[in-house]
Amino acid sequence: MSFRYWIIIVFIGFCWGTIYMFNEILLVDLGPMSVSVGRLLTGAAALWGIVFVSGRKVRVPWRVVFGLTVLGFFNYAFPFTIYPAAQTMITSTAAGIINALTPVMVVVVASLWPGSEKTQLHKWIGVAMGVAGIVVLMQSGRSGGESAIGGLALAVLSPVCYGIALNYARKFKGVDPFVLTAIALSAAGIAYLPLVLAIEGIPQVTSIRTVYAMLAAGPVLTGALFAVIHWLIQQVGPVAPSTVTFVAPVVSTLLGVFVLQDAFTLWHAGGIALIFMALVTIDGALFKRLFPARRQ
């Protein structure tokens, strides 16, 4: 995979590392389901603006629209609800760390997905290193008594959803990624809205900070960046783009240290090092250099 793709992946991972901080702000006025549907609809609105201004073709068969609705729930609606709900029990740093399990789930699901190629050894090694990094990072949260078992267990469901969604998204390879994301966000948001209103009611926004946080979380972190991720999946497959979730917990940890004044421990340093090593190993370039194929 070329270096420019890795630059994009690291940039997206950096941006997504901030979402857990925005969730903390949004949860002051909104319930977890309202946070989700807000991100879905504002993200969709921003993308439709880009689609129409750029003159992209929107003709998509109804059977594809149904498939994109399914994708919308697994890739957006469910995870966007799960993480804010989990963050009522665990810290934003812990939620970001759990999200780094996504490449693990992508590799596992890809190995079981019909028609998929056999998962290469270096990807399994990278997964193991990533898990080790997550375990190391989690020790800092546990030592402070911040991470509740129930919250951690709930948060793990999001990487499972992402693992399914990123593999499922490959079937839409012929669809423009911006159109794909706009339809998936819109369909999931519209289908989800009645349930959200029935359970959580109409949101009562009392702070301008909530509006600013939603504008960042919806149009930018959801609409624009997920469109780029779907473009990357079409270019390089689902596994490498999923490694953005190895970068995000590093960012969420650093934000906790420098913004929330959390202590930076050896657990943080060790976990960050392992996560970056995992990202490089999953790419395969380092593995091939260390273990070159024998020439006949």
pLDDT tens per residue, range 11-41: 998 898 899 889 989 999 999 999 999 999 9
Residue corresponding to tokens 């917990």: 249
Higher pLDDT, 76 or 3: 76
Rounded to the nearest 5°, which phi and psi values hold at 86? Answer: -65, -35
- Output the pLDDT for position 141: 57
Q: What tokens appear for 269 in the block? A: 């340093």
The answer to the question of residue 295 being in a domain is no
pLDDT tens per residue, range 276-292: 787 778 766 555 655 55
Percentage of the residues of the chain whose pLDDT score is greater than 90: 36
Higher pLDDT, 261 or 161: 161
Mean pLDDT of the chain: 83
**Residue 270 confidence (pLDDT) above 70:** yes
- CA triple 95-153-187, angle to 5 deg: 70
The answer to the question of residue 175 being in a domain is yes
235 pLDDT band, cuts 50/70/90, is confident
**Residue 295 confidence (pLDDT) above 60:** no
Domain total of the chain: 1
Mean pLDDT of 236-252: 77
| Nearest CA among 196, 209, 18, 14 for reference residue 95 | 18
The answer to the question of residue 146 being in a domain is yes
pLDDT tens per residue, range 75-111: 999 999 999 999 888 777 778 878 877 877 887 888 7
Q: For residue 49, what are the domain limits?
A: 3-290
1-38 burial: b if 16+ Cβ within 10 Å, else e:
beeeebebbbebbebbbbbbbbbbbbbebbbbbbbbbb
The answer to the question of residue 236 being in a domain is yes
261 pLDDT band, cuts 50/70/90, is low
Higher pLDDT, 198 or 125: 198
- Output the pLDDT for position 296: 40
- Output the pLDDT for position 142: 60
156 pLDDT band, cuts 50/70/90, is confident
The answer to the question of residue 213 being in a domain is yes
- Output the pLDDT for position 269: 81
pLDDT tens per residue, range 213-223: 999 999 999 99
The answer to the question of residue 75 being in a domain is yes
| Nearest CA among 249, 201, 285, 279 for reference residue 93 | 249
The answer to the question of residue 296 being in a domain is no
